[in-house]
Amino acid sequence: MSGIQKLVLRRIGLGIVTLFIVSLLIFIGVELLPSDLAQEILGQAATPETVAAFRRELGLDQPAVIRYLEWVAGVFQGDFGVSLANRRDVAELVAPRLKNTMFLAGYAAAIAVPVAVTLGILAALFRNSIFDRLANVFALSSISLPEFFVAYVLILLFAVNIPLFPSLARIDDATPFIEALYRTFLPALTLILVVIAHMMRMTRAAIINVLAEPYIEMARLKGVPRYKVILRHALPNALPPIINVVAINLAYLIVGVVVVEVVFVYPGLGQLLVDAVAKRDFPVVQAVGLFFAATYISLNILADVLSILSNPRLRAKA
């Protein structure tokens, strides 16, 4: 087995341990939520006996430790339990939402990442020029405005004033791909505007940092043109911080989009989570929470491994 495979396996092992700890935290968090589901569903008028019977039926009378272990054991077998609110299989409930969330995140990322990195490189190349300043002002303002505000402004501009795009991003399994891209353009654009600044500024900073290295001066004194100095000599050495900030933003695109989903009434995981919390539907909350944690962990593992691969010395050591 090569060193890099060993490294990846070790990171995955650590990721699973982290996921365990997170599962415990999610479970405790859900336990701490006030009131219980049986009371909630049956209403104030229910007798204590009915409530107790209903609790037994749902398995809520078991001690927390037992319920945690049963849940974890189930997850290991791919069984996330049954929704307490409507008795449907959690996996079945989550799957289509997950698909939608990944679609929107992928859509936004496919545009945001290349644009942000390119803008960052250009800003570093033309440091302190008008272009650099404009890019900075644009990036800072888009990151400073709250997402819902950006979303409503976009709706106002491109759905109301100039009706180019729909303001509601309703899609389902039957929606053709191109049609889905069109309908979700505004939420994707909102997300792009929110994540682009962070990645662009980090790319710019990482490259400028590397530009102070003696090997950059050396490259210039070999007569290498400026753009090649940046692409060939600066960028490869600036990759680790860029990869990390891209990974964090990808994770955000998947797990942090609740507000955008609500504004555009988009059927994603965020909406599902908010609904489930409101209904005290613990199995759904737990499953979505676990998925979000797994997303963060795996993207971080991926970023670590890619950073290591980008450095010949670490690559050889790994």
Partner 1 sequence: MTNILTVRDLHIQARHKHGTTEIVKGIDLDLKPGEVLGLVGESGAGKSTLGLAAMGYTRDGCRISSGSIRFRDQELVGASASTLRHLHGNSIAYVAQSAAASFNPSHRLIDQFTEAPLEHGVRSRKQAEADAIQLYREMQLPNPEEIGFRYPYQVSGGQLQRAMTAMAMSCKPDLIIFDEPTTALDVTTQIEVLAAIRKVVKEHNTAAIYITHDLAVVSQMADRIMVLRDGHMVETAPTEEMLANPKEDYTKSLWAVRTLHRETRPRPEKTPLLAIDKVTAHYGEFKALDSISFDILPQRTVAVVGESGSGKSTLAKVITGLLPHSPGGEIRWQGEALPPRLQDRDKTILRDVQMIYQMPDTALNPRHRVRDVVGRPLTFYLGLHGAEKEERLRSLMEQIELDPDIYLNRRITELSGGQKQRIGIARALAAEPRFIICDEVTSALDQLVAEGILKLLLKLQEKYGLTYMFITHDLATVEAIADDVVVMQHGKIVEQGTRDEVFSPPHPDYSARLLASVPEMDPHWLDRVLAEQKIDLLENN
Residues at the contact surface with partner 1, assessed by CB under 8 A: 213-215, 217-225, 228, 232-233, 236-237, 310-313, 316
From residue 58, alpha-carbon distances to 27, 69, 90, 276 in Å are 16, 16, 15, 16
- Measured from the CB of residue 262, what is the shortest distance to partner 1 in angstroms? 44
Contact between residue 55 and residue 61 where contact means Cβ atoms under 8 Å apart: yes
Cα distance between residue 305 and residue 5, in whole Å: 10
- Measured from the CB of residue 307, what is the shortest distance to partner 1 in angstroms? 13
- Measured from the CB of residue 229, what is the shortest distance to partner 1 in angstroms? 10
Cα distance between residue 66 and residue 249, in whole Å: 37
- Measured from the CB of residue 217, what is the shortest distance to partner 1 in angstroms? 7
Closest to partner 1 by CB, 99 or 127: 127
- Measured from the CB of residue 212, what is the shortest distance to partner 1 in angstroms? 9
Contact between residue 281 and residue 41 where contact means Cβ atoms under 8 Å apart: no
Closest to partner 1 by CB, 43 or 312: 312
Q: How many CB atoms lie within 10 A of CB 136?
A: 16
Closest to partner 1 by CB, 13 or 225: 225
Closest CA to 38 of 22, 20, 53, 16: 53
Closest to partner 1 by CB, 201 or 233: 233
Closest to partner 1 by CB, 29 or 225: 225
Polymer length in residues for the chain: 318
Q: Does residue 264 sit in helix, strand or coil?
A: coil
